[in-house]
A and B are shown apart, each in its own frame.
Chain A
Amino acid sequence: MGIKSLCLKKSLWLFHFGGASCNNCDIEILACLTPRFDVERFGMLLIGSPRHADVILVNGSINKRDEQRLLEVYEAAAKPCFVVAIGACGCTGGIFAEGHTFAGPVDRIIPVDAYIPGCPPKPEAILAGVVKLVKAKFG
């Protein structure tokens, strides 16, 4: 493994994008970032600006208003940048898929690198999903 991918793998900074979620996924993501699960030991850090993001965590269904925002955030992020869709809503639309404001699951708007299903997924499942993403990308 080259030094570049080693450094990227060891220092993934997370940006959290909450769409029109029922708020449970947000809570689980925040729980995942608390001292109890300690993602900083893998070098992960929650950051506030998409310019610094290496991973964008998207949760919640994306409605017509969020669509534009999500695209903007994705374009603002410095590449290489991975996208992780979290929860049934992020992966497929979940219970909101039939709604009249629904603009499509995340992967119809921006390319998605990993899906973490669940309604909501447990923090352990989110961690396992991110670890799988790292394994798939960096071997």
Chain B
Amino acid sequence: MAEHLFYFLIFPGLLFAGVAGGLLSWFDRKVTAWVQFRRGPVIMQPFYDFLKLLLVKETIAPARGSVLTFLSAPVAGMFGASISAVFVLLPAFGITSGFRGDIIVIFYLLTIPSLSWIIGALASGNPLASVGASREIKLLIGFELTFLLIFATVIMKSDMSISLYEIIARQQESGALIGSLSGVLLFIALLFCIQAKMGMVPFDIAEAETELSEGTFIEYSGPPYALIKFTKYIMLLVLPALAAAFLLGGLPLTGISILWSLLKILAVVLLLTLIRNTNPRVKVGQAMRFFLIWMNALVIIAIILSRLGL
């Protein structure tokens, strides 16, 4: 029991994932600054933002709308994200949780943050928030199928193993999955799915700062918004770690391979940042078409290629 609590609250759950994800979010903002030829924020910036929201600012509850749902949604989102952090990071770091079939649980857990934000936004009674929530739902419908197909292909490529630990162990024996043509296609599709899951720029239609002024999060202030920020930090670690576990051969923490693991995560985040900085925001219909037609086609080609042994 104590061991499980430690996994959940400290390593690799809540605390570790939040701090590491906060540093990644600093990396993301710093690279953005470099792309625009400026200096960018200091390394502590994500933590200043988080602590300011948590300790200093007041919480404003909506006058119309369900206050309880509004305030509990960010908490639910944060716990969903940290449980998924435990499930993804333990096998990725090479610690077996002895749980076969965790890959299916991971798929469900990773939707909890978006889902709880949608519920929170709809409970706030703000029209802009509900527009944001409906856009987020459409986006979910768009990319979830691609995301599921990626999971299925990875399972197929690892001889129908549904344990993340085994998938990684297999890759460490016989080379990472990205070494094959189908692996490369999967990686591309997964990158765009992560982009959509994080609400990063080509797919930030739900937050659309210019038209919806933060959309889903418009009504949140103070500590609940701090929890949302924290959840985003955790997701910024978990999703690249998932990509590393699926296709890049995991994140082993022994000896010199720590450096490799760090480089893998940084490389994935760097790619996400560069995509985010070089693209405009797409429309809802464009985003759905992009996933439902093009990305699904890409993954199906990857499935066919993997059947052919490529």
Contact = CB atoms under 8 A, between A and B. Distances in A.
B180 interface: no
Contact of A41 (B37, B38, B212, B214): B38
A129 to B, nearest CB: 20
B140 to A, nearest CB: 22
Interface stretch (A6-14, A20-28, A58-66, A114-122): A6-14
Nearest to A78: B221
B1 interface: no
B39 interface: yes
B281 interface: no
Interface in A1-57: 3-4, 6-8, 10-11, 35-36, 38, 40-41, 43, 47-49, 51-52, 54
A79 interface: yes
B212 to A, nearest CB: 8
Contacts of B60: 51, 76, 78
Give the interface residue-count category, chain B. Answer: 20 to 34
Contacts of A80: 56-57
B225 A10 contact: no
A40 B29 contact: yes
A38 B213 CA distance: 21
Given A4-B56, A78-B60, A51 B219 contact: yes
Given A3-B51, A3-B55, A11-B49, A48 B210 contact: yes
Given A43-B41, A78-B58, A51 B218 contact: yes
A38 B33 contact: yes
B87 interface: no
Contact of B55 (A4, A36, A40, A43): A4
A3 B57 CA distance: 13
B279 interface: no
A6 B56 CA distance: 10
14 contacts: A6-B48, A7-B51, A10-B45, A11-B48, A38-B40, A41-B33, A41-B38, A41-B41, A43-B42, A43-B45, A48-B212, A51-B218, A51-B225, A80-B56
A78 B44 CA distance: 23
Contact of B33 (A40, A52, A79): A40
B221 A40 contact: no
Interface string A73-92: 00010111000000000000
